[in-house]
Chain A
Amino acid sequence: MTATVPLTVLVLVGVGSPALLFALLAVPSLVNRPLPERWTGVLAGSLMTISCAALLVSLLVYGTAGTSTQLISFGTWSSSREGGIAVEFLVDRLSLGFAALSAAIAGVVSAFSSRYLHRELGFDRYFILLALFVTGMLLIALAGNVAVLFIGWEFVGLSSALLVAFFHQRPAAVSNAFRVLSVYRISDAAMLSAAVLLRHVAGSDSLSLLFGGGAATAVLSGTNATMIALLLLVAVAGKSALLPFSSWLPRAMEGPTPSSAVYYGSLSIHAGCFLLLRAAPLLEQTFAVRLLAGGLGAATAVFAGMTTRVQSDVKSSLAYASLTQVGIIVVEIAIGWYTIAFVHLAGHACFRLLQFLSAPNVLHDLHGIEDAIGDRPAAAGGQLSMVTSDRVRRQVFLIALERGFLDRMLDRVVVDPFTRLAHRLTRLDEWLCGAVLPPRWPITVDGGDRDE
């Protein structure tokens, strides 16, 4: 028996378990009968463990079989005809490694959350969104075609925004969630546009065209390859908070700590890096985009490194620290150090997860130390003062404190002009309404409340 059959089953179990968890939790919630907290915790723990075990074993099976990249197909899902959406997974060491890492981290967070969020309003909602997120991450990791990748991408985006707004009675959480979602939608649109272009150019949406390398990637050439790579880079920048989209990251810290840990500390923020790593063969063909990616990564690392030092809350500080490493990982990918980049990604995801989850305890301990010594512990650092003037330091500090003025810049360049134009068009529509009426009819707008 070849390794394909157990591998197929293991991958199916690995991806299917969190999807099943989502269904098991979402259906009772939809009919307003959420499962009790205890059952939710047990179900989440069991299914996440099954998923993690299946993916780890599949990594083992794949490693021992020593085969090359495999395309596991479960046939077309949407239609029995040719051209329907195919459920395909591209299995190799990289995809299985990232999938196993995602499942393991999700399992740890799931176990942590069932205690951390004990008796919290929305306990079931949290696990529904977490299950959706894990399904999305696994689909991103194993996707064999653009449709599957996009499904995963959307699941991650929506669950992320809804978890930022988890404490939905707080206006700040909700407005920040909307802001996060706005950037994610730019990223989604870029990803889908790349898919549209890929289909138009290559007549297929198979990801082996982007990820396969060699003859497969050679189908794409010149401007088309550059455009697709550029659109993918925009998608990656949006999802991984690279410049100029970094401003959503501190806003995303409104969610509960375990979700911040799994999204912005370890997995979601690395999803973009993983995609870039997968698309490395395409990047190698497009030097300009590779250069741009390296530049963006380096600029993001420097910016986030500065910003993390002036944050006044631990979660924002950790988020920017994560971003620093994400920037460096992108630089490593742009240089072509793929193995180092993946090891860096995996190590950083685990380390930052630990930091995020232990942050509340560390803060608690720190308060204890401060109370004990009667003062704040002495600040470290200060090396910058040896090489720069006061004025430069003040300017750098201001930029870091204002998080690069990125929010204001996006508002001025994108949000304000869009809103102004849309309001003008609304007024034009109102005028157009009356324009069809003969002049003798008065143009007054009566509001009506009675309805059917």
Chain B
Amino acid sequence: MSDARLWLAVLMALPALVIAASYLRLDVERLRRLAVASAIAMLLAALAFVVSPGLRDFSIRSSALSWIPGGEAIVRIDALAATLLPFAAGLWLLTVAVTPRAVLDRQGLRRTAVATLITLASFLTESAVVLLLLSVASLWTFLSALEDPAHRYQRRIVGAYLGISTLLFAVGVGVLVSPAAHNRTIEAAAMWSIVVAALVRKGIVPFHAWVPEVFDHGRLGPAILFNAPQVGAYMTVVLIVPRASPEMLRTIAILALVTAVYGAALALVQTSARRACGYLFMSQSALVMAGLDCTSVSALAGGLLVWLSAGLGFAGLARSVLVLEARRGRLDLTTYHGGYERMPLLAMSFLSMGLACTGFPGTLGFIGQELLVDGAVDVFPMMGFAIVIASALTGLAVLRMYFSLFCGRSEIPAHPSLRLGLTPREAWTFVALVIALVGWGVAPRALVDSRFAVSEAILRQRQERMLEKKAPGVLMNAVTLH
């Protein structure tokens, strides 16, 4: 067994272990401790792929799948996947470490492990069929989190939107693998079908309405776990960017920019903290999408960086809302809740994670957005202005949430016996997340260089595919390698 295969087996075995343990008669708190330990181990194992180049460039191929779009590799580890693996592990660790005890039961813990396993498997494949199957599995996991009667309506909403998305994805993949795909028009239709599927999954305007609804009235935890890894962005990188025509990419980029501004603007006026999180997620996720569809190396690298920073920053921000809700109930943004003195660490972490989302200097988000703007200026100047407006509005929305949730009152109305501070586990998880976001923001070189390498590889792949199609004119117009 090769080294990479061994590490990969360890990586997949850890969430599987938690799934298996959840069926045993294990105390929930013990199960959580096991989950936290597994997530830490998984994060370390995943980091091995980042630091050791020898473990990358590994794949498990099947010639039987060579006719399927996305290549024949059922599993492959390259520079893109190598960074996404610790990202997925980090999100799992965040989930199991900071979710309040009262709201994380045995089933919930199992679901987080299943969702992480699916996310990992998604990031490890480039086969469209495997991605489709994993997409169905992930939708099923998300729907199972909403099966209680209180969330019936949200379950239907998610079922309708993401069901359509999965169906379109299946139709697109189905057409692409059929002999009819040789016809350019049919191939374009299939690609559009996959594009719309990705847009729905990412909550891009006009297919976005399910996102704020699920965040607001659905279950926030599963919503974060389902959305923060941004598997839709991965679909875009592996399936859309290498194949889509320049017009298709431009349409996606324009819709994504509209969403980025729209989401940030609406987050600013929401009265519910959960709904504001939903719109913030929309905005952040759209920025990633805009970068990925820009066909410039810098912008693509920026998009890949924003993917990591927004994913971690947003997940941390939304998780801290959950932590606050566990202590105060649902959070209304029209009043001031105060409480900075009782939980300064949470307040500072919330602010830092929010600033990472807005692209504040000194955080990873700044580097990502800077590259995004830098790369977009030549290819698509309007993108630069849209990112500026979205970033300004996001900054305001985050500060408004911070002021409302932590300031404006000398003392929060709670029984003196109630422990409002963070538990050590929560505190260290938030601190570690902030250190990661700021650390990469202050010393970003290695990460940025690796993202450049990935984006060059993606665009090279696109170039080769375009050459295969013998459309050099399109290629020259579309790809700008800086």
Contact = CB atoms under 8 A, between A and B. Distances in A.
Contacts of A189: 388-389, 391-392
Contact of B219 (A32, A200, A448): A448
Interface stretch (A76-84, A281-289, A357-365): A76-84
Interface stretch (A164-172, A258-266, A290-298): A164-172
A158 B360 CA distance: 9
A338 interface: no
Nearest to B369: A192
A452 interface: yes
B12 interface: no
Given A81-B449, A171-B408, A189-B392, A450 B377 contact: no
Interface in B285-343: 298, 322, 325, 329-330, 336, 338, 340-341
Interface string A429-452: 110111111000111111111111
Nearest to B282: A429
Interface of A: 29-32, 77-85, 121, 147, 150-151, 154-155, 158, 161, 165, 168-171, 174-175, 177-178, 181-182, 185-186, 188-189, 192-193, 196, 199-200, 203, 418-419, 422-423, 425-426, 429-430, 432-437, 441-452
Interface string B142-156: 000100111111101
A241 B160 CA distance: 50
Interface residues of B, number: 93
Contacts of A78: 367, 370-371, 444-445, 448
Contacts of A426: 212, 266, 269-270, 275
Given A154-B360, A200-B377, A451-B325, A419 B407 contact: no
A176 to B, nearest CB: 10
6 shortest interchain CB distances as A-B pairs: A452-B108, A196-B384, A432-B209, A452-B221, A168-B407, A169-B410
Interface residues of B: mostly helix, strand, loop or mixed?
A: helix
Nearest to B336: A171
Contact of B431 (A31, A155, A181): A31
Interface string B440-471: 00001100110010000000000000000000
B61 interface: no
A29 B391 CA distance: 27
Interface in B341-358: 341, 344-345, 348-349, 352, 355
Contacts of B265: 418, 422, 425
B452 A444 contact: no
Given A200-B377, A418-B265, A429-B212, A29 B348 contact: yes
Contacts of B111: 452
B419 interface: no
B157 interface: yes
Nearest to A198: B377
B392 A188 contact: yes
B385 interface: yes
Contact of B408 (A84, A147, A169): A169
A144 to B, nearest CB: 16
Contacts of B104: 452
Given A29-B348, A450-B148, A80 B157 contact: no
Given A189-B392, A446-B151, A451-B322, A168 B340 contact: yes
B6 to A, nearest CB: 32
B169 interface: no
A436 B161 contact: yes
Given A154-B360, A445-B217, A121 B399 contact: no
Contacts of A447: 150, 217, 330
B78 interface: no
A151 B361 contact: yes
Pick the most buried of A155, A185, A434: most chain B CB atoms within 10 A of its CB.
A185
A69 B296 CA distance: 34
B157 A178 contact: no
B263 to A, nearest CB: 10
Contacts of A430: 209, 213
A419 B400 CA distance: 14
A77 B447 CA distance: 12
B374 A450 contact: no
Contact of A196 (B153, B164, B377, B434): B377
Contacts of B395: 181, 185, 188
Nearest to A31: B431
A310 to B, nearest CB: 29
Nearest to B96: A452
Contacts of B445: 77-80
A175 to B, nearest CB: 8
A433 B161 CA distance: 9
Nearest to B214: A433
Given A79-B448, A171-B336, A450-B148, 18 more contacts: A78-B370, A79-B444, A151-B361, A169-B408, A174-B336, A174-B408, A192-B391, A196-B381, A199-B373, A422-B266, A426-B266, A426-B270, A432-B209, A436-B157, A436-B164, A441-B156, A450-B150, A452-B112
A171 B336 CA distance: 7
Given A168-B407, A185-B396, A429 B217 contact: no
B406 A425 contact: no
A155 B361 contact: yes
Contacts of A79: 444-445, 448-449, 452
B345 A425 contact: no
A449 B157 CA distance: 18
A181 B268 contact: no
B29 interface: no
Contacts of A147: 370
Interface in B154-200: 154, 156-157, 160-161, 164
Contacts of B108: 452
B451 to A, nearest CB: 9
Contacts of A29: 344, 348
Pick the most buried of B145, B366, B403, B434: most chain A CB atoms within 10 A of its CB.
B403
A31 B345 contact: yes
